[in-house]
Each structure stands twice: as C-alpha cells, then as structure tokens.
A and B are shown apart, each in its own frame.
Chain A
Amino acid sequence: ETGVTQTPRHLVMGMTNKKSLKCEQHLGHNAMYWYKQSAKKPLELMFVYNFKEQTENNSVPSRFSPECPNSSHLFLHLHTLQPEDSALYLCASSETPGQAWLNYGYTFGSGTRLTVV
C-alpha cells in the first residue's frame, strides 16, 4: 500500500449529484494537497493544507469544497459539477518545514478517476 489511500478509485456522477472524495495518510505528514490531472495538461494544484489549515486555494470554483478535519484526512466535496471537471484527482502529502527533511517530495495516492455525465 502506498501510504496515501484514496477512495473511491472510480466515480461517475451526474451534474446534479453531490459526492465526496476521501484521502487518508498515516505517514505523520502535516501537509496535504489536492491536484487535478487532465490529459495533456500539467497537474493543477487545487488546495493545500498545512496543519489542517488551508494555505492555498488556486482559484478553484466553489463547486469543489475541501475539508481537512485532521492532519491524516482530507476530503473533496463535489456538487453541481460540469463535464469539464472529469479528470483524475490526486491527493498527496508531505512533511512541512521544521520537521526532518528526509524526503523532499510528496507521497501520492492512486487517485480517483472522476467522470461527470
């Protein structure tokens, strides 16, 4: 297992539905991220949480609503999405400044493949 678990792995939803994506890590990391991966585009950073506080919202539409109840869990609540929101949504976690810099990168989950119909 990767250390970062994302559920569900696949999700098909209608434009009027409400659903949530879940991300969980037990690596002791305090920073968590949501990225959107669309074909032929760079990964787009959506949200950053440091110690449960949102530190970045990259001009994401309000139909995407993140929630970080603790340092181990991150949610992305979805409502009234558009077909162009179909993509792979990746969650990642990392250590933060002040902790041991043993790993400068991220640990990623396997993503949720979202299809909006």
Chain B
Amino acid sequence: AQTVTQSQPEMSVQEAETVTLSCTYDTSESDYYLFWYKQPPSRQMILVIRQEAYKQQNATENRFSVNFQKAAKSFSLKISDSQLGDAAMYFCAYRSAPGTNFGNEKLTFGTGTRLTIIP
C-alpha cells in the first residue's frame, strides 16, 4: 500500500516571500500521479497542482511549482510571492495511474501542513 508523509505540521512565511512544503511517499508502482490540494477555512479541497510520474519536467501553475524527485520519492511544493489568500492546510496526495490498479482510483493523503502567511 502507498503511504504519503508530510513532516511539517505547520509552516509560516512572510507575505511576498517563498515557502517550500515537503512531501515524501512510498510506492512500488512506477506510474502514478501526485497532487497538492489546498483546504482553506471554507473546507473545500482545491486542487493546486498535479504531476505525472512519467514526466521528468516539474509541474508549474503560476506561483506554484513542484520539485519532483522520483528516485527519492519526494514531491515538494514551492509557493512564490506568498499572498494572504494562500493561508490554508495543504495536503499532498498520491493516486495510482489508470490501468495499474483498475477500478481503484482512491487518493492517499498525507496529514497536511498548515501554512500561515504573516502580513
């Protein structure tokens, strides 16, 4: 079974600065997907960014980028130019690729990192 570990329960960053959230995972699969979700106080989980394991290029979405190290099973999220609206819980998640575990598409989550933005 896959596991996802987020070792930083809480992080804080000054507004406009850059912060990196860590995530490691364990799997025996070679093809899979990794995600970062954001959960603001409204409680709705919002997809921030995703990475396909077969792609070597790190995913980027505006101010959000990842550092995907497949051999090390590491998937960190970098938030540049932090804004007050970035304050939330951030969850790293793993999902098997289609065909590797047919019919079982569950996301496996880490415990989350609470990010505080300091004005």
Q: What is A's interface to B at a CB cutoff of 8 Å?
A: 2, 31, 33, 40-43, 45, 48, 50, 55-56, 88, 90, 92, 94, 96-97, 101, 103-106, 108-111, 113
Contact = CB atoms under 8 A, between A and B. Distances in A.
Contacts of A40: 9, 111
B59 to A, nearest CB: 11
Interface residues of B, number: 29
B47 interface: yes
Contacts of B108: 42, 45
Q: Which of B9, B42, B44 has the most CB of A within 10 A?
A: B44
B110 A105 contact: no
B54 to A, nearest CB: 12
B41 to A, nearest CB: 10
Contacts of A103: 47
